[in-house]
Structure 1
């Protein structure tokens, strides 16, 4: 993992400035396409290209279970993780539908599902059968965190080799909003009550119980907020570790990466705490309905592209935002300049 971090360079700000100047030569008032222009500029800083490409995208969904599920923090039983992985493999989940819509490459990676999976369409990279209950002991050992991250580095490399020009990272794991909330509270210093939401759809009484469980876990684990890998090991999940590694690997490969919702953004925050240069490679797809997502976005100084009241996960919100990246790159590649079109630009002088 240290080797990957060492490969990450800062984004190319000169390329972004070149794109900014070029956008002002196109047949439109300067800045009139607003955030779409800023998105095109960011894509240029990531790729180093005046006219970047984002097709095809790759969707990688990491799946794992959480020992803290035994504390009754989710509306669904732990078996749903394996059942949903089967649904992904069969192409029936929301992320499958949205991935088909954008012609994305898709890989489902089992890094820690509690059940033993033998189905086709799922890459096995299982580190262990779910994490430990973080209320009672550290969720993972440090070596297990690194192993999950290494699995995601390999997945990103497979996507890049298959021709992917953009990455979307998703997750599946019952109780992973509990792990993410615990991590976020420690990393940002916010109260647990401030970051905990309904997750899979729990009622107010269950939500209060979830807050109490997380507070117990944080007190018991005593994680140092200045040590992001330790926070991940003590309070996180195998799929969160894998997502963190995927963001690092994508940055090393100079791949634009669309970040999904709450859990994905906590993983992105963790990656940025490990290597701040990662931040420039991240495009935030949407604002989740989970209250902790605003906390995580604020910590990253991020403005998401969409706000649709979603809280599904899987990479679904990021996949819905992806066409905006297509539009941004098409604008730069296909829109005429004032000179090309024979249009006077004196009004701009």
Structure 2
């Protein structure tokens, strides 16, 4: 069969038997014998297809009839070529479709076997983990907290390195200025300008140092480095510090809007409360994506302290809403979440005589309400 890349030859389009039969028909029509050959002759009429000469028509026909017979033969050859190409295209297409179906069938079978093996492995792992959950849940609190601090480390280091960079640079420039001042102060009236620049550099360096101090203070508040006892906690300060740390970790945390009312202090563990706030805000950031918004409010209802974290993200389906507090349950991709964040948050609030309520709609967002009873 012909393909589009091949130049057709006369034998491809008309086998010898058909060529002989066609010449007899042309002879009958023209009233004289004709023959078709692939070798050029002086008394022959060229037969062309797609601007290529395929053969030469010669015989006893007058020149005018020979030309007409050659044009008729060209028309016949053109239709034959079209038919051959169409047939070949159909054959290629059918073969390719069949090969693709076979490939897909093999891939589907292999995928089914992989998922079956994976499902069996996952079921075994889930059964083993469920058996250990009750014994290890308390230990997971500390590991979840350490994991969160580890996630913050890269962002905090970045924020610290930036001010340190320009502090170091400015101090080096300040040292150079000091050398110049020492040599020019006594005799150059422009020395005042150098001193002004030096004061500006020192001021900028002091601002960078203060920024480092603020970041470290927020980190200490979050991780409760200095204290581990049950102490009066400023929930608004803990919320603010947690937001600062998230903003150091990811620019998307700028989407968090704080609307904090005056609150009484609550007795509790600052680090654990900070961990609960971090888990909820981190979930909200992952739900809203790049262009979403998160609003955090706090208020004193006289009987309880109420904190609300709302987002306009993807939301949680009704079937999953009842399972989000189950240990190891997660809707994220494998390896993207442990499924412990909300479980740990719920138990932290329970340890502080508090509760958490979730409401959500798919595509509209999620609202988490935290209530701490006031004695």
TM-score by length of 2: 0.21
TM-score by length of 1: 0.22
More strand by share: 2
In proportion to residue count, which structure has more helix?
A: 2
Task: Report which of the two structures shows the higher radius of gyration computed on alpha carbons.
Answer: 2
